[in-house]
Structure formats: structure tokens, C-alpha cells
Amino acid sequence: MKKRNKGLFVTFEGGEGAGKTTLINRVYDVLTAKGHSVVRTLEPGGTSLGKEVRDLLLHQKKSPICRQSELFLYLADRAQHVQELILPALEEGKIVLCDRFNDSTLAYQGVARSLNVDLLRGLCLAATDGLVPNLTLYLDLDPKVGLSRAKQKNTYDRLEEENLSFHTKVREAFLSLAKDEPNRFHVIDASKDVDSVYTAAMGEINDLLCLK
């Protein structure tokens, strides 16, 4: 992360049904109760513009979206998100908890959609003004289990409709990213009970707060 930011930026990554939302909500509640100033957000959809992009990406059924269009919609959402919400919050010294960030683009659009990962790295950095998370928590889960959890919801999600092979590639991509950046990435076994997942996540976040 660039030195200009006074706060802490924590991102949460994982496949469908890994439990990111449940974990972020609990972490947010605990940190807020301890007196920290915390922003909880997500991608796509963290801004007013982002909500419209999210609907296009995940819920529209009228026409297919080609992989290049999908990529640039995600990047447009992220650029607005960073400038409008994330960077101002970090400048104010807040803790930002974000559900998905650049690593999701590398895993989903780069590896699973077979786009050039090296090119995507540069595009992601351009869209985010070079912003890199202080900590990334990856919730690792067998895609079969995750998809079973996700499809219990009553809302339509275009990514959840992808086949198992697609989601397996996503998982493999995340694990590869974690291996490449062990100082930033921490893998959490999302097959464990919610308390164990929370304990593991808060352990990493508390270590980060102590360093700050």
C-alpha cells in the first residue's frame, strides 16, 4: 500500500458461498465495538454507480456479456469505488473492510476467463491508483460445497451459474496468488465452523493493528 494512506485496508476474497459476507459483518461489529472507525464495503456495488454496474454484471439476463466487457465493467466499478470511498476513508485513518478487490479480477477474469493475467495486473493497478491491501484474507472452500451453499439463496447470480470447472480454476488461482504473496495473503479454511473462521481472521487483523 502507498505510504500516503493512514488507515488500514483489509480485503476478503473467496469463491461463491465461502462465507465472506458473514465474516465481514462480524469483524465489522467487533472492531466498531472496540472503538475503531470502520468502513464496510463490497465490489461490485460499493458506490451508487457501482450498484448499477453490479446489477449489469450479476443479475441482468437479457443478453450475454463478453469476457472483455465484463472485465472493464469490474474495473470501472473499482476505479469509482477507490476514488469515492476507499481512499478518502484511508486518508481519514479508518479501517476499510472490502469484500473483493483486484485479486478477484485476476482469479475470475484472468485465470477462469483466460485473459492475460500480466496485462490484468497493470489494468488493476491503473484502476486503483496503485492501491494494494495491507492484508488479504482468502476463505478457501471446495467449490462443490461453496456452490451448494450459494444456490440456497433465492437471488439470481450470473457467476453462480458457471460450471464447476470454472469455479475450480478460480480456487486454484486464489491459492496461487496466496502462494506468491505470503506476506499479504492469508488462507483460512472456510470449511470449518463460523467461530473458527472468525478467530483465524481476527488473529491476522489484530496482528496488523499491533504493527500499526
CATH number for the domain including 106? 3.40.50.300
Instruction: Give the integer Cα–Cα distance in Å for 186 and 139.
Output: 9
The answer to whether position 2 is within a domain reads: no
Could you tell me what percent of the chain has a pLDDT over 70? 95
**Alpha carbon distances (Å) from 109 to 25, 47, 68, 159:** 26, 21, 8, 11
The answer to whether position 3 is within a domain reads: no
Q: Hey, which bits of the chain come out as E strands?
A: 8-14, 38-42, 95-99, 135-140, 185-189
pTM: 0.94
Count of structural domains, the chain: 1
Place of cell 485479486: 103
The answer to whether position 180 is within a domain reads: yes
Instruction: Give the integer Cα–Cα distance in Å for 185 and 8.
Output: 15
The answer to whether position 80 is within a domain reads: yes
| pLDDT at res. 4 | 53
| pLDDT at res. 92 | 97
| pLDDT at res. 11 | 98
| pLDDT at res. 78 | 98
| pLDDT at res. 107 | 98
Extract the residue ranges of the chain whose pLDDT is less than 70: 1-5, 154-156, 212
Q: Which domain holds residue 168?
A: 8-211
| pLDDT at res. 63 | 80
| pLDDT at res. 154 | 58
User: How does DSSP assign 60-97, residue by residue?
Assistant: --SS---HHHHHHHHHHHHHHHIIIIIHHHHHTT-EEE
**Alpha carbon distances (Å) from 47 to 27, 85, 87, 132:** 21, 8, 13, 19
The answer to whether position 44 is within a domain reads: yes
The answer to whether position 1 is within a domain reads: no
